[in-house]
Amino acid sequence: MKKQLLGVIDAATYHEDLQELLPHRPVAALPFAGRYRLIDFVLSSMVNSGISSVAVFPMSGYRSLMDHLGSGKNWDLNRKRDGLFLFPASPSEADKESGIGCYSHYAENLDFFYRSSQKYTLISNSFTVINTDFTSLLEKHIECGCDLTEVYKNGRALDIYLLETSLLIDLIESRAETGYTCIKDVFEDMSSPYTVCRYEYEGYAKRVETIQGYYKTSMELLDARVWNTLFKRSQPIFTKVKDEPPSRYYAESTVKRSLIANGCQLKGKVENSIISRGVTIDNGSIIRNSVIMQKCQIGENCVLDGVILDKDVTVESGTVLIGNPTNPIVIRKGSYVENAKLPANSLMIL
C-alpha cells in the first residue's frame, strides 16, 4: 500500500509574521532544532511512509532550499526511478498569491503528475513539525470512501491533504471552469460534488507560522516527552549531513536542559536553550531561553535571555539582550551586535 503514495511538498508559502527570519530563505529552509530545517520533518515522514517519489514546489528565493536538499541523497531519494524533484514557479507565477496546493503552479508541471505511477497523492505544506507514518491516513481514506481527506490536529487544519492522483489532475485541468484555485477551495465549497473527509491526527504536530510560534515550538523540544515523541528511532528525521567535530565543553562551562549540536566551543553557561552547529560561547557569557543558529560568535560576559540569533551573528563582549517568551529578540543573519546596541536590522517583537 505504501508504494501507492506520491509526495508533494508545497514550499511556496510566505509568512509575513516570520519575515525577520526569511529575508534570504523560504520557510521550508528555516533552521530548527539545532541541526534540521523545517522541511525535514514532512519530507522524512513521507520517506518513512514508503514514499519514493517526492516533488517540492518552491516559489522564489529557493537557493538555500536547493543547497539543503541537494540530490535527495540524505533521504534516500537519489534514485534512477522516482526520487526527489524540484519545481520552482515561473517568474509570472511567483508574483501571484497562492494557497497550499496551488493549481496554477502544478499546471506548469502537469507532465510530472501524468508520468507518476502512484494512485494517490499526499500534499503537504513545508512548515509543520511532525513525525508520522502516513499509511494510516491512506488506509482511513480508502476505508471511508473519501475523494479528498484533510488532516487536522485538535480541530485545526494542518494543510495536509490526500486524494487520488487522477482527481488532482482533473482539478488542475478544470480550474478555470470550477473556480478552484487550490485544493483548500474544494473543502471550503459546501456545494462541492466530492466526498471530503477529516482525519484527526493524535500525535505531535505544530505549524510554524510566526516568530512567537517558532520560539515556542523550539522551546517545547527541551521537554523530554516532546523530544521522544518527535524523534523516534523507528522513524528518524533525516537532514543534510555535515561532517563536523564533536562540541567541546571547557572546564568553566555549564549546560542545563539544552540541545547542543556538533562543532561548538562552549566556555560559558547555557540553560534551556538550543545551540546549533559551530557556535562559540566565550568565558563568562550566559545564554538562557534562547535559540542560537549556526556559526554565531558570542563574546565574553554577555547575557542573552529570550533571544533568537540567526546564522553568523557576532555578539560583542559585554552585550546584554533580554527578551521574553512572548517578545523574543530576533537578530538577523550576519549581524554584528556591538556594546549592547541592537543592529538596525534586528527586531524586538512588541
The answer to the question of residue 14 being in a domain is: yes
State residue 142's pLDDT score: 97
Q: Which residues of the chain register pLDDT less than 50?
A: 94-95, 97, 344-345, 348-350
Q: Which three cell numbers stand for residue 170?
A: 482533473
pLDDT tens-place string over residues 195-241: 999 999 999 999 999 999 999 999 999 999 999 999 999 999 999 99
DSSP 25: S
* Angle at the Cα of 93 from the Cα atoms of 88 and 97, rounded to 5 degrees: 110
Residue 54 main-chain phi, psi, to 5 deg: -130, 130
pTM of the model: 0.94
CA 197 – CA 334 distance, rounded (Å): 46
Residues with Cβ within 8 Å of 248's Cβ and at least 6 positions away in sequence, in order, are 264, 265, 266
The answer to the question of residue 239 being in a domain is: no
Are 118 and 52 within one domain? yes
DSSP 100: T
Q: Which three cell numbers stand for residue 136?
A: 494510516
**Domain count of the fold of the chain:** 2
CA 21 – CA 211 distance, rounded (Å): 8
Are 217 and 265 within one domain? no
CATH number at residue 90: 3.90.550.10
State residue 2's pLDDT score: 58
CA atoms within 13 A on the CB side of 232: 14
The answer to the question of residue 44 being in a domain is: yes
Are 169 and 272 within one domain? no
pLDDT tens-place string over residues 8-22: 999 998 888 999 999
State residue 14's pLDDT score: 82
**Which residue segment(s) compose the domain that 338 sits in?**
248-348
